[in-house]
Amino acid sequence: MKPAFSVIFLTTLIGAGQGLLIALTAGQLYAGGGSGGFYALGGALALALLCLGLVASVFHLSNPQRGWRAATRWRTSWLSREVILLPVLCGLVFLYAVIHAFGWAPVVIRLGNGATLDLPLVLGLLATLASLALFVCTGMIYACVRFIRQWASGWTVVNYLMMGLASGFTLAAAYAQLQDNALAGFLAGSAVLLTLLALATRAFQLWRNATGQPRSTLKSAIGLHHSQIRQVTQGFMGSSFNTVEFVAPGGAETVKGLSVFFLAVGFVAPAALLLAGLPVLAFLCQFVGLLAERWVFFAAGSHVQNLYYQARG
Amino acid sequence: MSKKQLALVIDLNVCVGCHACVTSCKEWNTSGWAGPLPDLNPYGADPNGVFFNRVQTYECGTFPDTETIHFPKSCLHCEEPPCVPVCPTGASYKREEDGIVLVDYDKCIGCKYCSWSCPYGAREFDPVQGVMKKCTLCVDRIYDKTLEEDRRKPACVLACPASARIFGDINDPNSEAAKAIRDNGGFQLMPEWGSKPANHYLPRRKTTTTLHPDELVRVDNPLKAEGEKPRPAFTTPTIDGASSW
């Protein structure tokens, strides 16, 4: 498939934003509540990433002025569900940041064992839930395309979640270190674990895609039951939507090379940099790696319809 | 099964690959309800345009035992269209009354998600209008009361010089289309995806000829004297067409 840069930036940016938000909430739980400028500024950073993602997504549409219509089919379309959930999450994060900025922390829920949940934490947990749901929506947009076998599995959702968490926690660690916050160690440790876990699940998907078999053949595509069929012509001389949209520029060599690149730069190097106590550098390195990862994810998808476009001329 | 489902039945045994359906489809639709259909760089090295119907050519077997198959393909108007539920705006829809799958160009945002969800590559994006386009089964023709009744058919069906295309309600057992599917073993493309395409194809029929060796030899030339006729003298009168020079 032809990689769409708008979608590459959308998914990596909101992934990091969602991960950052979950990291902040995890930090809040770990440190036992608390409020203030650290969380407010972190929330604002997450909100900025989400909004940048929204801006990137608009470039994917040919008619963005009708974008609002994309929220109408939430019953059947994962894309529609994402379109609804993203602004909802933005709203929650805005509230989260504002409440933290004012340091307003009334107790909302009193648990049976005497523990309490204050408003900032409840908002953090709500935003975490929305973030997780958004990860599922974003992943399912690709996982439900049955005709691209590289995408059509639960591993797509798992990887979107894992990479979002890894980059978000790395960003949180970098942010905590810059702010000289006590949570820096906890966040950096979690980021290393999540990055390595993301490496494992993504590497598994690479292996799974490399060994899988396509479900359709030219035989079933044109319904001709002969053991030797070859296409003589596509019926036209130039290119068409079908020969451009479903083909990755650069070919298999580029995909292979970039796969090695993103495994090293997106996962291995950031984990090493985090362990070396350089979380800012780790995040920058990881983000570049994840951009390459998303490019490969698109480019490695081979669509069933390509069966009809095997010979040029 | 009682619901109406208009569709095309294409006889692969008859299609000669003349592309008349391609050009008539383009002509009708570019000036009709779905148009205009762009043609970018039409006279350049890499022309690129939107077509609803394309004819491809396949060859099976190894030389000299080969067979050429011309294969027209357009939107198959699936009974379970995978392109419809993924559309976030509801621009892609399947009509209740006749089963035609259409795109509402005023709602389409051009996200291309539906084209990813079509295994047949039947949808083509119009980069000028920024919307997805596809075969409409000439919905603006087949219900046009100003046309004579036998002309209320898709443009490709009317244009086919070999009558390789049959149009009709495949769920009506008495229709010509349903009969053709039933009698000739009509099949669907890629049935493994469960999209139940409404358009059917009629299979190639196996035709065999038995050749005896003596049929390959000219019986009126027992001396096997092939080759050029002798060149007559310069003064001999000539008759055009009868002379060999």
Distances in Å between the Cα of A244 and the Cα atoms of A3, A74, A169, A295, A307 are 11, 29, 37, 16, 14
Give me the DSSP letters along A109-173. EE-TTS-EEEHHHHHHHHHHHHHHHHHHHHHHHHHT-TTBTTTSSHHHHHHHHHHHHHHHHHHHH
Residue B10's pLDDT band (cuts 50, 70, 90): very high
In chain A, which residues have their Cβ closer than 8 Å to the Cβ of B12? 224
pLDDT of residue B8: 98
| CA-based nearest residue to B52, from B33, B75, B27 | B75
Residue A111's pLDDT band (cuts 50, 70, 90): confident
Beta strands B165-169; B6-11: pairing state: antiparallel
| CA-based nearest residue to B135, from B150, B148, B123, B125 | B123
CB contact under 8 A, B111 and A79: yes
Tokens of A191: 């980021």
Residue B218's pLDDT band (cuts 50, 70, 90): low
The DSSP 8-state label assigned to residue B157 in this structure reads: H
CB contact under 8 A, A233 and B49: no
* Residue A224 maps to a domain: no
In chain B, which residues have their Cβ closer than 8 Å to the Cβ of A242? 121, 124
A64 vs chain B: nearest CA distance in angstroms?
A: 6
CB-closest option in B48, B61, B189 to A226: B61
Mutation for B interface: A82, A148, A232, A310, most B CBs within 10 A: A232
Whole-angstrom Cα distance, residue B123 to residue B87? 13
Tokens of A285: 């390195």
* Residue A312 maps to a domain: no
The DSSP 8-state label assigned to residue A242 in this structure reads: H
Question: Among all residues of chain A, which has the CA nearest to that of B22?
Answer: A235
Task: Determine the structural domain holding residue B145 and report its residue range.
Answer: 6-202
* Residue B45 maps to a domain: yes
SS3 (DSSP) at A79: helix
* Residue B212 maps to a domain: no
Non-local (6+) Cβ contacts of B221 within 8 A are none
B244 vs chain A: nearest CA distance in angstroms?
A: 39
Q: Is pLDDT above 60 for B242?
A: no
* Phi, psi for B88 (deg, rounded to 5): -75, -15
Residue A311's pLDDT band (cuts 50, 70, 90): confident
Whole-angstrom Cα distance, residue B139 to residue B143? 7
pLDDT of residue B76: 97
Distances in Å between the Cα of A142 and the Cα atoms of A174, A224, B232 are 30, 30, 80
Whole-angstrom Cα distance, residue B146 to residue A39? 70
Q: Is pLDDT above 90 for B234?
A: no
* Residue A55 maps to a domain: yes
Whole-angstrom Cα distance, residue A116 to residue B9? 69
Q: Which long-range contacts (CB under 8 A, 24 or more apart) does A299-302 make?
A: A299/A1, A299/A2, A299/A3, A299/A248, A299/A249, A299/A250, A299/A254, A299/A255, A299/A258, A300/A150, A300/A209, A300/A248, A300/A255, A300/A259, A301/A1, A301/A148, A301/A150, A301/A151, A302/A1, A302/A148, A302/A149, A302/A150, A302/A214
Q: Is pLDDT above 70 for B221?
A: no
Q: Return the number of other C-beta atoms located less than 10 Å from residue A252's C-beta.
A: 10
Domain count, chain B: 1
* Residue B160 maps to a domain: yes
In chain A, which residues have their Cβ closer than 8 Å to the Cβ of B108? 63, 66
| CA-based nearest residue to B182, from B190, B191, B193, B171 | B171
Output the domain CATH number for residue A57: 1.20.1630.10
Over the stretch A218-248, which tens digit does the pLDDT of each residue have?
999 999 989 999 999 998 988 999 999 999 9
Beta strands A229-233; B165-169: pairing state: unpaired
Whole-angstrom Cα distance, residue B46 to residue B36? 20
Whole-angstrom Cα distance, residue B210 to residue A208? 51
Q: Is pLDDT above 80 for B95?
A: yes
| A190-204, B32-46, B167-181: least confidently modelled range | B32-46
pLDDT of residue A32: 75
Output the domain CATH number for residue B59: 3.30.70.20
**Beta bridge pairs of residue B200:** B9
CB-closest option in B46, B56, B108 to A235: B56
Mutation for B interface: A305, A307, A312, most B CBs within 10 A: A305
Q: Is pLDDT above 70 for A313?
A: no
* Residue B67 maps to a domain: yes
Three-point CA angle B140, B145, B147, nearest 5°: 85
Domain count, chain A: 1
Q: Which residue stretches of B95-213 are H helix? A: 113-116, 139-142, 155-159, 176-184
Mutation for B interface: A240, A246, A306, most B CBs within 10 A: A240
In chain A, which residues have their Cβ closer than 8 Å to the Cβ of B201? 223
Q: Is pLDDT above 70 for A147?
A: yes
CB contact under 8 A, A238 and B117: no
CB contact under 8 A, B119 and A237: no
Question: Among all residues of chain A, which has the CA nearest to that of B205?
Answer: A224
Provide the residue type at A220 as one letter.
S
Contact between B119 and A309 under an 8 Å Cβ cutoff? The reply is no
Whole-number average pLDDT of chain B: 90
Q: What is the arithmetic mean of pLDDT over A155-170?
A: 98
* Phi, psi for B4 (deg, rounded to 5): -75, 135
pLDDT of residue B51: 96
Residue B64's pLDDT band (cuts 50, 70, 90): confident
CB contact under 8 A, A220 and B204: no
Whole-angstrom Cα distance, residue A90 to residue A47? 6
Beta strands B6-11; B39-40: pairing state: unpaired
CB contact under 8 A, B61 and A222: no
State what percent of residues in chain A have pLDDT above 90.
Answer: 85
* Residue B214 maps to a domain: no
Residue B222's pLDDT band (cuts 50, 70, 90): low
Whole-number average pLDDT of chain A: 94
In chain A, which residues have their Cβ closer than 8 Å to the Cβ of B56? 231, 233-235, 308
Q: Return the number of other C-beta atoms located less than 10 Å from residue A208's C-beta.
A: 13
pLDDT of residue B243: 54
Residue B238's pLDDT band (cuts 50, 70, 90): low
- Indicate the burial class of B215 (C-beta count within 10 angstroms; 0-12, 13-18, 19 or more): exposed
* Residue A227 maps to a domain: no
Task: Determine the structural domain holding residue A83 and report its residue range.
Answer: 5-219+232-307
Contact between A121 and A32 under an 8 Å Cβ cutoff? The reply is no
Question: Among all residues of chain A, which has the CA nearest to that of B41?
Answer: A238
Q: What is the arithmetic mean of pLDDT over B162-180?
A: 96
In chain A, which residues have their Cβ closer than 8 Å to the Cβ of B91? 69
CB contact under 8 A, A242 and B124: yes
Q: Is pLDDT above 60 for B1?
A: no
Over the stretch B106-157, which tens digit does the pLDDT of each residue have?
999 999 999 999 999 999 999 999 999 999 999 999 999 999 999 999 999 9
Tokens of A247: 């083909």
